[in-house]
Amino acid sequence: MILVTYITAGARGQVQREQRRLMGTSFSVGRGTKAQVQLPDGRVKLDHAHILVADTGVTIVADAGEIKAKGKTVKVAALVPGEDVEVGPYLLHVESAPSGLDLALTVTLAKPRISRSRKALLQVFLSLPRLSKRRLSYLLFFTIIIAFLVLPSLPDLEKKMTLPMDGKQRGMMQEMSTLLGGGFSQTWKPGPLSPSHQLFGDSCRTCHQIPFVPVRDAACLDCHKTLKDHVERWKLSGSRGLAFLETRCTECHSEHNGLPIAPRAQERCADCHRDIKSVALQARSENASDFRTGHPQFRLSLLDADHPDVLKRVRQGKPTPPDMVEHSNLKFNHALHLNPAGLRDPEGRRDASGMHDSQGNRTVLKCASCHTPEENGRFMAPVSMEKHCRQCHSLAFEPAVTKRQVPHGNEELVATTLREFYARLALGDTPPDINPPSDMSRVRPGAVLTYEDRQRVLKLAQQKADRVLNELYETRGVCVTCHTVQRIDSAAGWRVAPVKIAKTWLPHAMFRHADHATQSCTSCHDVRDSKRAEDIAMPSINRCRECHVGAQPQLDKVTSECALCHSFHSGHEAWQGAPKGQKRAEAK
Amino acid sequence: MRWHESILEYKRGRYLKATLVLTAAAIAVYAWHEPPGHVKPNGGTWLGYTLGTIAALLIVWLMLLGLRKRRYRSSAGSLQGWTSAHIYLGTSLIVLASLHCGFEFGWNVHTLAYMLMLIVIVSGFFGVYAYLRYPELMTANMGAESLDTILPKIAELDRKCVQLALDLPDEINAIVAKSTRSGPRENTKPGRPRWRLPGSGQRYTARDAVKAISRVGAKFKGEQAVQNGKLLAEMTRKSVLVDQVRRDMRLRAKLRGWLFVHIPLSFALLAALTAHIVSEFFFW
């Protein structure tokens, strides 16, 4: 027989004891009501263990459950007075048994279940992590402020800070802030740089030199040193003129669009040029707003060969203004030279060059026979006597005597050449290819001349030379075919009027002949009926408008904003033409 | 006056009209506006600055709702009006900010601010939906009950189930123990829940227990079968209540959960906006 004492906590925490005597030698231990030693807790098995009373002593044997004695899991434990055995959450303590009893046990619930308060229960359902909106807000706010505001501005902050550091530390600090700031300030970059500025890479501070100060013109001029003013400052007038003066580079050149930085927008030009007097009262240019709808006639720059320092600008118009003539001091008849039936050619049939169509001994000239483009593609190369005229226009001074010609372009050299030639003949030194002229007295070869003889002979030679010079300049009309000549009192004897031919008529327009190679020459410069060198064969704006329209695109027409022909920053220098490749790159 | 007026219909949609006027005006000016120099529209034109200023001030004002709703004694407009305006004017930001930037986006702090703003607004849309829909569903779910009345009932049922399982085989007992356990946090101190990823906890629902008990108990006979039947009945009652509570919790979570996106991200937006504005003028 054994005695089991259950110790439980009452409703108010007081200790309650309940004793049970059990008969037999084997007692089941389990949670069920059928167990002899009932341990009513879910953590105990139904057939957890059993207690055996034998002659050798009382033991507890584990069945479905687990028992622990002295902290170790055991299969069998002896129930000796003073011993403790754990069965699930229960503690079985062996007391010394009163006589007549085999065993006295006290049973206590050592590990009660955590009481299920409402709060604990709520947690079962509200298994939300400890997420605080406020904490999260702070976290995100300061992370973003640091990453996107503090770090990018670090290099500038670092300059403002006065930290007690020695030189080396300061250097390290600077290096670090530059590195960090450079990287993080990329997050400020609103868009890709224009192609021409991409060489700056990540260094924002190349242009953005001072915090909170808009990009200064000085930053641009650090590199763009040779830029010219668009217009001289004194020419500007009024408030709009002043406003123009204060225009900053970045107002026209906007960056970070990934587009070319040069503005093509003609609205910007038209802002002033639509009413140019409002900006520059003294302006002599006329209003312009669009090539098709609002552009004045061209103003040609005219030279005067007799007054080379004066450049006269004459506006085209109908009728043609009387002073729209070229004073080149040259005589030239385009109509004659372009005779479709050809020109007499003293050298007869020539067809090697390909520039000449040859029929018999007549040569048919084309524009390109004389006018070839210059290398930069803008201008036509100057026509030269040597290359283009001399083949037909011989400068032979006495064809019956010699094929020799006088040099071109220097009156003194012409006179000298003749004097030397005839003096040589007079002195009896006749070159083999010369047929000596009959009207000249000659010295017998081998004769010894006295000083007086020589003077006499040379004087005769001089007279002959002067006669031939007169023929050349005047009677035979060799020079006057093309030039205006004048007798003067000098060693040369004659003066050819200085020649000045316009190289460009519109020095500020960015016109390239090479870009217009698809057109025939005469479609713009019709000289087939021109008989005088004074004629100017420049096309009018209407001719240009046959192909070019303004900013508003049109089918089969070239859209032409101001910047197609005009350059803002070239100042008053004539445009010299950019190499072809460069222009293409800009247009991209 | 109607008994209930939705925040969307506050004062017959006063703020809806205001928002429509505002956005229509912004779109009209944007269409008319031609940025000088034929550049693409951007934040740097006068219209860009104007729209940007309006949008920035709006964002700050929208965030003030958080303060206004805590000031119970404030007389600066009714909270309902504020909320209605908050919703409509907040929505108008999508238009204003897009026009402000001229639809230029990139990997930078500027677009970060824009994206954060969009997320905040979209989470706000969900919030509007939640506030209009879920309270109704919650009432339908809980009926006359509340968590305060239902949770003790569950606790009581738990206790009964444990009691009934004492006399049933270990298998059943284990099922009951599992279903009454407080889940993954059994070994943690109460009141200090840990972070838990959704679905990571070993959850054994009352419904699972009901299925398991009836499956295991099918082979029981006699007294055991009767006992098991009683347990099954109690467990089923519990599972109904638990489902009800879970649904309530789910609705509560949805009703408030969006705020965990809306509010922290609106502070992130405030930071990004500050960085955006400062950076614009820092590198002018």
Give the alpha-carbon dihedral of A304, A305, A307, A311, to 10 degrees: 40
Residue A33 neighbours by CB distance under 10 Å: 10
pLDDT of residue A576: 53
Contacts of A459 (CB under 8 A, 6+ apart): none
Report percent pLDDT > 90 for chain B: 27
**Mean pLDDT for chain A overall:** 82
Q: For A412-416, B180-184, B195-199, which range has the lowest pLDDT when averaged over its residues?
A: B195-199
Helices (runs of H) and strands (runs of E) counted in chain A: 15, 21
Q: Burial of B105 by CB count in 10 Å (0-12 exposed, 13-18 middle, 19+ buried)?
A: middle
Q: Which of A186, A187, A271 to mutate to test the interface with B (most CBs of B within 10 A)?
A: A187
Q: State how far the Cα of A185 lies from the Cα of B272, in Å rounded to an integer.
A: 14
Q: What is the DSSP string of A102-170?
A: SEEEEEEESSPPPP--HHHHHHHH-------HHHHHHHHHHHHHIIIIITTTHHHHHHH------HHHH
pLDDT for residue B204 is more than 90: no
CA distance B151 to chain A (A): 7
Amino acid code (one letter) for B207: R
Q: Which long-range contacts (CB under 8 A, 24 or more apart) does A355-364 make?
A: A363/A392, A364/A339, A364/A340
**CA pair distance A559, A551, nearest whole angstrom:** 6
**Residues A135-155: pLDDT tens digits?**
889 999 999 999 888 888 887
pTM, to two decimals:
0.67
Chain B positions in Cβ-Cβ contact with residue A149 (cut-off 8 Å): 271, 274-275, 278-279
**Cβ burial, residue B62 (10 Å; 0-12/13-18/19+):** buried
d(CA B254, CA B129): 10
Q: What pLDDT does residue B187 have?
A: 40
Q: Are the C-beta atoms of residues A212 and B282 closer than 8 Å to each other? A: yes
Summarize the confidence of residues A355-364 as an average pLDDT: 60
Q: Are A375 and A513 in contact (CB under 8 A)?
A: no
Sign of CA dihedral A94, A98, A102, A107: negative
DSSP A472-489: IIIIS-SSTTTB-EEE-S
DSSP of A326-377, one letter per residue? Answer: -B-SB---HHHHT-TT-EE-TT----SSSSSEEETTEEE--HHHH--B-TTS
- Choose between B250 and A347: higher pLDDT: B250
pLDDT in the model for residue B120: 96
| pLDDT recorded at residue B199 | 41
Q: Is residue A577 pLDDT above 50, yes or no?
A: no
Q: Which helix (H) or strand (E) holds B153?
A: helix B147-165
Closest CA to A535 of A334, A398, A364: A334
Query: Does the pLDDT value for residue B57 go beyond 90?
Result: yes
Least confident of A213-222, B33-42, B241-250: B33-42
Cα A47 → chain centroid: 89
**Is the CB of residue A517 less than 8 Å away from at least one CB of chain B?**
no
What's the pLDDT at A563? 85
Report the sign of the C-alpha dihedral through residues A227, A228, A230, A236, in that order: positive
- For B150-188, how does the pLDDT look when each residue is reduced to its tens digit (9 = 90+)? 888 888 888 888 888 888 888 888 888 887 764 434 444
More confident residue, B219 or B7: B219
- CA–CA min distance A218, chain B (Å): 15
Distance, in Å, from the CA atom of A537 to the CA atom of A544, rounded to the nearest integer, reads 14
Q: Which of B38, B167, B275 sits opposite A32 (nearest CB)?
A: B167
Q: Cβ of B39 under 8 Å from any chain A Cβ?
A: yes
Asked if B175 and B216 touch (Cβ cutoff 8 Å), the reply is yes
Nearest to B229 by CA among B171, B181, B161, B178: B161
CB-CB contact of A281 with A231 (8 Å): no
Q: Do B283 and A211 touch (CB under 8 A)?
A: yes
Q: What is the pLDDT averaged over residues A111-124? A: 58
Q: What is the band of B38 on the pLDDT scale with cuts at 50, 70, 90? A: low
Task: From B97, B91, B92, B96, select the one nearest B113 (Cα to Cα).
Answer: B97
Task: Please identify among residues 207-236 of chain A the ones whose CB lies closer than 8 Å to any CB of chain B.
Answer: 208, 211-215
Name the H helices within A537-579.
541-545, 562-565
Q: Are B271 and A145 in contact (CB under 8 A)?
A: yes
Task: Estimate to the nearest angstrom the gap between the alpha carbon of A582 and the chain centroid.
Answer: 12
Measure B228 CA to nearest chain A CA, in Å.
13
Q: Which residues of B touch A40 (CB under 8 A)?
A: 163, 166
